[in-house]
Amino acid sequence: MCQANFTRKENSHDHKSQPRSQTTFGSCRFSCALFYSAPRGLKALDELERRIQLEALVIAFPLAILLIMTLGLLELAVPLSPENWSYRHIWPFLTMFYFIGLAIARKRYE
């Protein structure tokens, strides 16, 4: 039989953890607002712009998956520094992939 030992802090409601939780819930509210407004914004676009946006995502998504899988496999072979290659550091690459895809798709439909 497995037993788990849980330790409970005396003062679990300290003030140091409160700003982190506020930041987390603030970003969740922002994400929910984005997910709510994005489809409304897409409905306002014409057919060509919808196609351009879709093709940008079609280019960006496989590049993002390739980056994440490559980093995961590389981390198995060589220890990567978390200060340089954690998940919070790859977000700029995902944005860059989207804008690269957007540039390619716009150039295609010029």
Summary mean pLDDT of the chain: 80
Instruction: Assess whether pLDDT exceeds 70 at residue 1.
Output: no
Answer whether 105's CB lies under 8 Å from 48's CB: no
For position 19, what pLDDT does the model report?
67
Structure confidence by residue, pLDDT tens digits, 3-50: 444 444 444 455 555 566 666 666 778 778 877 888 888 788 899 999
Q: Looking at per-residue confidence, does 59 or 89 come out higher?
A: 59
Query: What does the alpha-carbon distance between residue 52 and residue 109 come to, in Å, rounded to a whole number?
Result: 8
- For residue 103, the SS3 value is helix
